[in-house]
């Protein structure tokens, strides 16, 4: 199967999954819910989603500069939103947009290794904080989630807090080991990581990444919660802190176009323990996808703009 056939298969798989989820949730009721969505909550959700991606672009620029690849604020914003447009339009979840960002940065004359690593580590930074926030949110929802897993609440909380703590300090431990040992990494394309770890601003840059990633996930959770509020669903903040992890991780899988289908299925599963009807959960997932689609349309319209040198 060639690349074109694989892309088409992924698109069809995502659409089939989305259609199945909508069918099981009752499409008539779903359409009625969406028609009655509160426009002010929708606007708030869209703005929160845009804010999340603005911070994401800032975070990417910070890590690129730390690795030795420079770019302007305007370029980082333009390329990031163009990448969103590609992610929405192409099969493979976030892969297409990430490749585009790396290539765009290289074309301004920046080092290839640093350009590629900036995108990879930017994505890792987001996933790192997403999982950490999901773990803390799950611990805060232990009285509801633990019975679903047939686990004692205290054990559930203890395991999550210990696991999340280890997960949060892991990047510090890995980079500190590289810094203290002065070791050369096995692969030459990882050399910018060693050089960055040996810089005097090593610690402050890690805090910048942690702050940026935390803010991205808080704004993303806010966007998801606003979409739910538009449909009349109000849940406590810790619920959204937990649910963003399975929802966004499933949406990032390269199994569909723009996360359609996988995101909605994950939303149904993540909100089920809290008694949320499937029709409402699917609506929440769809609205979050629409927020991304709106930004993707703007990014796709800007793909043809000439790239300025940073």
pTM for the structure as a whole: 0.86
Q: How many CB atoms lie within 10 A of CB 188?
A: 9
Q: How many CB atoms lie within 10 A of CB 147?
A: 13
* Cβ neighbours of residue 214 closer than 8 Å, sequence gap 6 or more: 129, 133
Structure tokens of 177? Answer: 């080991």
End-to-end CA distance of the chain: 40
What's the confidence (pLDDT) of residue 296?
Answer: 75
What's the confidence (pLDDT) of residue 36?
Answer: 92
Question: 224 and 292 in contact (C-beta within 8 Å)?
Answer: no
The label of the residue with tokens 């910048």 reads 208
pLDDT, tens digit (0-9, with 9 covering 90-100), for 42-97: 999 999 999 999 999 999 999 998 888 889 898 899 889 888 877 776 655 556 77
Question: 25 and 268 in contact (C-beta within 8 Å)?
Answer: yes
- What is the C-alpha radius of gyration for the chain, rounded to an integer number of angstroms? 20
Structure tokens of 214? Answer: 């935390």
Instruction: Name the nearest CA neighbour of 48 among 252, 247, 277, 226.
Output: 226
The label of the residue with tokens 């259609």 reads 19
Helices 278-301, 27-35: inter-axial angle, 10-degree rounding:
60
Q: Which residues of the chain have pLDDT under 50?
A: 305-310
């Amino acid at each position: 199967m060639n690349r074109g056939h694989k892309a088409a298969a992924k698109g069809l798989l995502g659409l089939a999954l989305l259609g199945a989820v909508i069918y099981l949730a009752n499409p008539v009721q779903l359409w009625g819910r969406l028609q009655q969505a509160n426009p002010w909550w929708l606007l708030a959700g869209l703005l929160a989603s845009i804010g999340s991606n603005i911070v994401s672009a800032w975070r990417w620029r910070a890590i690129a500069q730390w690795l030795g690849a420079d770019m302007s604020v305007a370029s980082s914003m333009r390329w990031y939103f163009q990448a969103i447009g590609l992610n929405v339009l192409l099969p493979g979840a976030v892969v297409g947009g990430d490749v585009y960002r790396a290539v765009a940065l290289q074309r301004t004359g920046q080092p290839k290794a640093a350009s590629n690593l900036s995108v990879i580590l930017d994505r890792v930074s987001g996933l790192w904080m997403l999982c950490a926030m999901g773990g803390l949110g799950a611990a805060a929802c232990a009285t509801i989630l633990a019975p679903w897993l047939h686990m004692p609440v205290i054990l559930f909380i203890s395991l999550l807090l210990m696991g999340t703590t280890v997960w949060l300090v892991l990047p510090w431990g890995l980079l500190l080991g590289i810094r203290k040992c002065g070791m050369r990494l096995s692969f030459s394309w990882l050399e910018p990581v060693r050089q960055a770890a040996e810089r005097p601003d090593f610690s402050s840059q890690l805090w910048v990444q942690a702050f940026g990633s935390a803010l991205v996930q808080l704004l993303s959770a806010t966007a998801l919660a606003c979409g739910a509020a538009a449909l009349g669903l109000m849940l406590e903040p810790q619920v959204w802190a937990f649910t963003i992890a399975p929802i966004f991780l499933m949406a990032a899988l390269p199994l569909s176009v723009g996360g359609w289908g996988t995101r909605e299925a994950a939303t149904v599963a993540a909100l089920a323990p809290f008694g949320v009807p499937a029709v409402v959960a699917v609506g929440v997932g769809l609205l979050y996808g629409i927020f991304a689609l709106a930004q993707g349309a703007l990014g796709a319209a800007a793909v043809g703009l000439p790239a300025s040198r940073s």
